[in-house]
Each structure stands twice: as structure tokens, then as C-alpha cells.
């Protein structure tokens, strides 16, 4: 593996599906790939912390610590923890999901993988969505627009802070020229100062310049360590999408994605999973290498804590 911050096509990740198929022709090849990413500097025993460049293998995917003699599965503590399916099937699922420009559905994944159960495909897809958000990721910086949108019913509507039966999604978008840079999105319980301030603190680095409208829930942001630029939409003489074009552009794209890929059929309890997928794709929209997306998702799947189907069904989210 090369520098993890600058992975190289054809060395760190496959460039084409043909290359993918050649690289990962067996589960043993998948085990080797996970090991190279998980233990870049040698096998690190999770029990005693001992590091060795040449660990002993006691079985398929089982590494033996030479110091404390404890065995560790290559998949333990990862997204693949205790999986009963071949790793090669998981790898193919990840390649398929990241190669779909606008997203993948559970039905599509079931058909491609030949899974007998729709529920299995649905669970897998949600597990992969959980891996798309990296805890401790860099916060947004510079100039950042913040607003909310309401999701539910037939689509997404920006503003209208009283929309019944709709989930509230807070959006933050970096200002990069005329368009948005990186984004962050999360379901919030309401549009109170407590909820909106928490969203800002979790997603925007202190010292940034935050631009909002005049909603009272944003009052006090300056006291949190930000420069706060407020524009009252009604007094500006311009519509909201002109005053804060970037977050409105993101909300519009979310609307099209929501209806085009999922036909709006998303339960509110699972909405954060879909927002994580949308954010993952949006923030990497300029990447021309689909293999690089596969590599990044693999990195995060290895770092991701194990999650059960029951946790998925109940809507446990990394954000909560």
C-alpha cells in the first residue's frame, strides 16, 4: 500500500471491473486486501497492542499474536464482523454501490448479487451507508451556508418551518466560488436554537463564517466561536435561493435523488442513513475514479463498528 492519503490507481485500488475481478478472485485475496488496509504498519493485536510485520496465520482470516497468543479475526470489529457470506460477495456489493453514479436500491443489489432475500440486500445496503460517514471526519471550514429543509410526503421542501409530518434536515454547505464545496446533513428533532446550534458545532469548525437567514434558532451562533452573517430574506428583496444558493442547490439535488432513486419511500427512522450516502457521493462527485470510491468505502468499512440487523431496523445512527 502506498500513502493512504494519496492512494494510487492500479496499486491501492482496481481501476476497472476487470481488474477488480482479477484482484479479488477468492476470499483469501479479500482477506489480504483488508489486512493491508487495516494493519498498514503490521498486525496490531487488539488485546495487547503488540505489532508485528509477519503475524502467524492459524486459519482463514485468523491472526495469532506472537506475544499474548490471542487469535484475532481479520473481520472482527469491522463492518464484516461475523459475516456468513463470502467476503468476495461483500466486495462485489461495495464495487456495485460505488459504481452507481446516483445510488443503488436494495432491489438492484439483490438482483446483481443473486441474493435470495430482499431483506439481506436491504440490511447490507444500510450497513454500507453507515460506513459512508466517518466519525471524527474533518469539519467544514471557511464560509459556510446553513439552512434546513423538510423531507417527507411527495418530496423535499425548503423552509416552511412548520411542515407537519415531515422530517427536518439541517444542511451545511461550504462556499466554493459560485457553487457548494463539501456538505454535511443530519436529521434534527426541531428548529430550536438547541438543535441547530448542536448541528453547527458538530459539523462546522470554530472560526468559520456562518451564513444563515434571520430565523431565531440561529441566534447566538456568534457566541459559540463563529462569525455569523445574517440575511433577513424578507428584507433582502431576493428569494431564499438567491440569498443562499448553495444550500438550496443541495436541497434541490436531494429532492431529485430522493424521488428518482428511492421514489420517496424512506422511513424517517432510516433517513440519516440515506443522508450519509448522499453526502458521501456529493463530496466525491468530482472523482473520476470509481475505484477510488470503492477504496474509500473499504477504508471506512474497516473502521466502522459492527452493527446488527436489529440495530439497523431500529434506526441506530452514528449521529446519535
Express each pLDDT in 255-309 by its tens digit: 888 776 665 567 778 889 989 999 999 999 888 788 999 999 999 999 998 988 8
pLDDT of residue 155: 47
pLDDT of residue 124: 95
What is the CATH number that goes with domain 143-269?
A: 3.30.420.10
Q: SS3 sequence, the chain?
A: CCCCCCCCECCCECCCHHHHHHHCCCHHHHHHHHHHHHCCCCEECCCCCCEECCCEEEECCEEECCCCCCEEECCCCCCCCCCCCCHHHHHHHHHHHHHCCCCCCHHHHHHHHCCCCHHHHHHHHHHHHHHCCCCCCCCECCEEEEEEEEEECCEEEECCCCCCCCEEEEEEEEEECCEEEEEEEEEECCCCHHHHHHHHHHHECCCCEEEEECCHHHCCHHHHCCEEEEECHHHHCCCHHHHCHHHHHHHHHHHHHHHHHHCCCCCHHHHHHHHHHHHHHHCCCCCCCHHHHHHHHHHHHHHCCCCCHHHHHHCCCCCC
Q: Along the 320 residues of the chain, how does pLDDT read in single tens digits?
A: 656 668 998 899 999 999 999 999 999 999 999 999 998 888 888 888 888 877 777 777 888 888 888 888 999 999 999 999 999 999 999 999 999 888 888 999 999 999 999 999 999 999 999 999 887 789 999 999 999 998 865 445 555 555 566 789 999 999 999 899 999 999 999 999 999 999 999 999 999 999 999 999 999 999 999 999 998 877 666 667 777 899 999 999 998 887 766 655 677 788 899 899 999 999 998 887 889 999 999 999 999 989 888 888 887 776 55
pLDDT of residue 154: 42
pLDDT of residue 264: 55
Please report, for the chain, the start and end positions of each structural domain, with discontinuous segments joined by +: 17-135+290-314, 143-269
Amino acid at each position: 500500500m502506498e500513502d493512504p492519503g494519496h492512494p494510487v490507481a492500479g496499486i491501492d485500488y482496481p481501476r476497472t471491473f476487470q481488474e477488480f475481478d482479477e484482484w479479488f478472485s477468492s476470499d483469501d485475496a479479500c482477506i489480504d486486501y483488508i489486512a493491508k488496509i487495516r494493519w498498514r504498519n503490521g498486525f496490531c493485536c487488539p488485546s495487547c497492542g503488540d505489532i508485528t510485520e509477519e503475524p502467524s496465520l492459524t486459519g482463514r482470516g485468523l491472526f495469532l499474536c506472537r506475544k499474548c497468543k490471542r487469535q484475532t479475526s481479520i473481520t472482527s470489529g469491522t463492518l464484516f464482523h461475523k459475516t456468513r457470506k463470502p467476503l468476495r460477495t461483500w466486495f462485489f456489493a461495495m464495487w456495485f454501490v460505488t459504481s452507481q453514479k446516483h445510488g443503488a436500491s436494495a432491489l438492484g443489489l439483490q438482483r446483481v448479487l443473486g441474493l435470495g432475500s430482499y431483506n439481506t440486500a436491504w440490511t447490507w445496503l444500510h450497513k454500507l451507508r453507515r460506513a459512508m460517514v466517518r466519525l471524527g471526519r474533518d469539519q467544514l471550514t471557511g464560509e459556510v451556508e446553513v439552512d434546513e429543509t423538510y423531507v417527507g410526503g411527495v418530496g423535499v421542501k425548503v423552509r416552511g418551518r412548520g411542515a407537519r409530518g415531515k422530517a427536518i434536515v439541517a444542511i451545511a454547505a461550504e462556499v466554493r466560488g459560485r457553487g457548494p464545496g463539501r456538505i454535511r446533513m443530519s436529521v434534527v428533532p426541531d428548529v430550536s436554537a438547541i438543535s441547530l446550534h448542536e448541528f453547527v458545532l458538530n459539523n462546522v469548525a470554530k472560526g468559520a463564517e456562518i451564513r444563515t437567514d434571520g430565523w431565531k434558532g440561529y441566534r447566538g451562533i456568534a457566541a459559540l466561536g463563529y462569525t455569523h452573517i445574517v440575511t433577513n430574506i424578507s428584507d433582502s428583496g431576493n428569494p431564499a435561493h438567491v440569498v443562499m444558493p448553495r444550500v438550496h442547490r443541495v436541497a434541490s439535488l436531494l429532492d431529485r435523488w430522493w424521488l428518482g432513486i428511492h421514489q420517496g419511500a424512506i422511513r424517517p427512522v432510516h433517513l440519516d442513513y440515506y443522508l450519509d450516502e448522499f453526502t458521501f457521493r456529493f463530496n466525491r462527485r468530482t472523482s473520476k475514479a470509481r475505484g477510488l470510491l470503492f477504496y474509500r468505502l473499504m477504508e471506512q468499512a474497516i473502521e466502522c463498528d459492527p452493527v446488527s440487523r436489529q440495530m439497523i431496523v431500529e434506526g441506530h445512527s452514528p449521529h446519535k
